[in-house]
Structure 1
Amino acid sequence: MHSFSAPITRRTFAQSLGLLGAGLLLPDWAGAAQQPAKLPRKKDILKVLTLTNGYFMQKWPDTGKEIVTNKARPSNIWTRAVYYEGLMALYGVDKQKRYYDYAVDWGQKHQWGLNRGVETRNADNQCCGQTYLDLHAIDPQPERVRDIKASIDRMLQTEQVDDWWWIDALQMAMPVFARLGVMYQDERYFEKMFQLYDYAKTRHGGNGLFNPEDNLWWRDKDFVPPYKEPNGEDCYWSRGNGWVVAAMVRTLSILPPNAPHRAEYQQMYLRMVQALPRLQRPDGYWNVSLHDPTHFGGKELTGTALFVYGMAWGINQGLLDAKQYLPIITKAWTALASECVHKDGFLGYVQGTGKEPKDGQPVTYDSRPDFEDYGLGCLLLAGTELYKLVDNPPAAAKS
């Protein structure tokens, strides 16, 4: 992979993607990407996931305990909800009863409720609903779906579609809308989800938060042009774009093949994952500022793990070329597993909460983010999807 000491211009980057999309020319990273990649062993992946998850469960034996940083917050906020997304993914490949019980206990401690109650329209508060709905699918008890359905139903009854003004919201709430639409065979959920997504894509910040020139998203209106990074490039925050990739993956995993707007989400997914390979660092990570490696450049787990999750899923679904993407994700996973995981399971190189490259800095092996939970959730999502890939490798990976 190339490192970028010189700035990438939006024009040349867009041109390379356009040529790639047209199948006329492979950019210079593609040759390296097609070198053989050796997948990690299943037991080695599972060892990392078991260790890191075990550290967290031991540290938080009471699933209902408040999270205290600069203030006390309930433990059904988005940071913890993302962890439980990862835990349910881990349970999907390693069905230990203690994982299921830990998730159920979390729901019960919060009476299957949402932060700010059913009146909330904030996607962060609705993220816990993803796990509630997963657990309802395993054991359909009405209380598990009661509040999350009530909250989303209130949104269906209004014309307002500008709620998702920050791109993280897509990951937090889109899978909830998708799951409810499938559960109740009601396309109103699909339509409302699309309206909220489309407003974020094309309207927020003036002309939308998605830049079709670079196939990446600005985090919110504060970062649309004329805002620039120190090197003169647009500000594309790694984890923010990771949330969008995850949103597409999780939504596409739920929607039936004939669902309305499914093609839009698949196209968005493909556009984004085609933009990412040339931005990977030589050491396997992605910088917190995707187009400016000089702005707090360094190793960072969360964005990198979300990109691994997205790309591994794409190979598993037959949407991505294994020869091209396997070396990318194996290099990234090797870096995460070998450089971020402490002996006790604590994760280093996790950027704290925020919305841009400077937040939570410095990010180091020993730095402790303000919340430890969502970083682990991102790693569990990445690892379990890679585990599935090792379990059933594509033909390109077997050779």
Structure 2
Amino acid sequence: MKRLVIGLLSGVMMTSIAAHAQHKFKKSDLTKFPAGCSPKEVGQRVAARFIASPHPNFGRPGLPSRITYPEVCTWYGALTFARESGNKGLTTDLAKRFEPFFTTEASLVPQPDHVDHTVFGAIPLELYMQTKKPEYLEMGKRFADKQWGTPEGPHVKPASHEFAAKGLTWQTRMWIDDMFMITAVQSQAYRATGDQQYIDRAAKEMVVYLDSLQQPNGLFYHAPDVPFFWGRGDGWMAAGMSELLRSLPANNPDRARIMQGYTKMMASLLKYQAADGMWRQLIDDPASWPETSSTGMFAFAMITGVKQGWLDADTYGPAARKAWLALIGHLDDNADMREVCEGTNKKNNRQYYLDRGRITGDMHGQAPVLWCATALLR
């Protein structure tokens, strides 16, 4: 009971700090924050929480059969935060967590046979860039290369060969989640090697998804047969475009199309942001509940856009700042994010999305906090 009370008080205090922060600092300022709300302070808390956590298994007890993509996304965020904050000790700790994958935990390394598994390669590629150890590069490249290699494994379908014949990855599913999972590992491979083929093919893939899935209002249905604007689903797309554009060369022929899709989405999100800075489980549904993983992903996309000069700072800076402060107001005393939508499949049913579990500490929610902290420090 005592711990519960402390946790509730901590949440109330953080929410109060976030609420009052808008009045003390310039509303568009993405560099100065109240005590306890700076990206360095928050990022360190959430990264330390990650290091202390066992490998998650989508809420089920025991070790997973393979490392899950929410852990990958959190790990990647912790590593980029370590780099941008200059915390070499954190990088060392995150590398130590990885080392067993070469020995005692080798069985937990996913096979690069599905987008949710292949994104794992983003971690060793980031570790290589920070440590220059060749074993990390070798592992990461294997994942990135396999994504455009010969289709094989239990997830291969007839459409896999059709996509590959068009120069797309055979792992294409036409789910919006893919546009983070694919772009993250391919962008990382480009950053690690300088080989433009990686990011060029990710850009080509992104254009196909934009042309197929973006709706006239700038948002994305969860899938072609599911006409709902699910928050985290759209969050994957927003974050994926941001990660891709951040490193996509100016001479890439697909850059203008991707930037057009990105700015169109950001303009729509600006309209749907709630007064408290949050976005909802179903973005355009006012009866839907404020959800943190989507808010974190949209905040990351807007922070990145403002910092990179893609978005007008006076228009989007206040929205990004408000989102960051609202987001961290949902961290409890353990640095666990509250109000995170549980893992969600697609379903053509509005109530299905409204009834999804609202959980605390799930890595779907931890990862975007670290991405935001990184983006604020860039």
TM-score category, normalised to shorter length:
0.7 to 0.9
Per the alignment, in what secondary structure is the counterpart of residue 97 of structure 2? Answer: helix
Q: What's the secondary structure of 2:280's corresponding residue?
A: coil
CA deviations 1:201-260 (Å, max 9, x no partner) are 34xxxxx2222x11111222331xxxxxxxxxx411111111111111111222233234
In structure 1, the residue matched to 2:205 is: 196
1:128 and 2:132 equivalent? no
Aligned length: 326
Residue 304 of structure 1: how far off its partner (Å): 0.5
> Corresponding residue for 1:353?
343
Shift in Å, 1:298: 1.6
Maintained 8 Å contact 1:81/1:131: yes
State the shift of 1:317 in Å.
Answer: 1.0
SS of equivalent residue, structure 2 residue 206: helix
Name the structure 2 match of 1:80. Answer: 71
Higher helix share: 2
For the 8 Å contact 1:201–1:210, the answer to whether it is kept is yes
Out of 234, 244, 252, the residue aligned to residue 245 of structure 2 is 252
Equivalent in the alignment of 2:137: 145
Find 1:274's aligned residue among 247, 267, 275: 267
Matched-pair contact (CA < 8 Å) for 2:239–2:297:
yes
Segment of structure 1 superposing worse, 165-174 or 40-49 = 40-49
Residue 163 of structure 1 is matched in structure 2 by 171
State the Cα distance separating 1:387 from its structure 2 match.
4.2
| CA–CA distance in structure 2, aligned partners of residues 117 and 187 of structure 1 | 25
Indicate the residue corresponding to 2:314 in structure 1. 323
Mapping of 1:33-44 within 5 angstroms? 37=27, 39=29, 40-41=32-33, 44=37
Label 1:155 to 1:90 Cα distance change in 2 as closer, same or farther (>3 A): closer
Q: Do residues 47 (structure 1) and 41 (structure 2) align?
A: yes
**Distance change in 2, residues 1:274/1:100 (3 Å):** same
% same residue: 21
Aligned twin of 2:375: 385
Inter-partner Cα distance in structure 2 for 1:180 and 1:173: 11
**Aligned-partner Cα distance in 2 for 1:188–1:52:** 34
1:308 counterpart (299, 303, 308): 299
Alignment of 1:9-88 (within 5 A): 37=27, 39=29, 40-41=32-33, 44-45=37-38, 46-60=40-54, 65=55, 67=57, 69-70=59-60, 72-74=63-65, 76-88=67-79
CA distance in 2, matches of 1:185, 1:94: 24
* Alpha-carbon distance, 1:376 to partner: 0.9
* 2:106 maps to 1:98: no
Cα 1:131–1:151, aligned 2, differ >3 Å: closer, same or farther? closer
Is it true that 1:263 corresponds to 2:256 in the alignment?
Answer: yes
Contact 1:309 1:382 in 2 (8 A): yes
Deviation at 1:83, TM superposition (A): 0.3
Alpha-carbon contact 2:207-2:254 (below 8 Å) kept = no
Unaligned runs of at least 5 residues, structure 2: 1-24, 151-163
**In structure 2, how many angstroms separate the alpha carbons of the residues matched to 1:151 and 1:250?**
18
Give the CA RMSD over aligned residues. 2.9
Match of 1:209 among 208, 213, 218: 213
**Contact 2:75/2:123, CA 8 A, preserved across alignment:** yes
> Which residue of the partner structure matches residue 283 of structure 2?
290
Deviation at 1:194, TM superposition (A): 3.5
- The aligned counterpart of 2:159 is none
Q: Give the structure-2-normalised TM-score.
A: 0.76
Query: Scaled by the length of structure 1, what TM-score is found?
Result: 0.73
Q: 1:376 and 1:187 mapped to 2: Cα distance?
A: 31
Counterparts of 2:200 and 2:184, CA distance in 1: 13
**Match of residue 175 from structure 1:** 184
AA matched with 2:321: T
**Structure 1 match to 2:224:** 221
Q: How far apart in 2 are the matches of 1:91 and 1:116?
A: 23
Q: CA deviation at 1:36?
A: 5.6
**Equivalent pair of 1:354/1:360 in contact (CA under 8 Å):** no
Rounded Cα–Cα distance in structure 1 between residues aligned with 2:314 and 2:296? 20
CA distance in 2: counterparts of 1:157 and 1:387, whole angstroms: 36
Matches within 5 A, 1:363-382: 367-368=359-360, 372-382=362-372
> How many Å separate the matches in 1 of 2:376 and 2:270?
17
107-116 vs 163-172, greater mean Cα deviation: 107-116
Per mean C-alpha deviation after superposition, the further-off stretch among 89-98 and 342-351 is: 89-98
CA change 1:219–1:363 in 2 (3 A) is same
The answer for unaligned runs of 5 or more in structure 1 is: 1-34, 203-207, 224-233, 389-399
1:147 Cα offset (Å) = 3.2
Contact 1:353/1:359, CA 8 A, preserved across alignment? no
Are 1:114 and 1:125, in contact at CA under 8 Å, matched by a contact in 2?
A: no
Corresponding letter in the other structure for 1:290: I
Matched AA of 2:186: F
**Deviations along 1:47-103, whole A, 9 cap, x unmatched?**
33323333333334xxxx563734642463211011012102321232323321232
Q: Residue 292 of structure 1: CA displacement?
A: 1.7
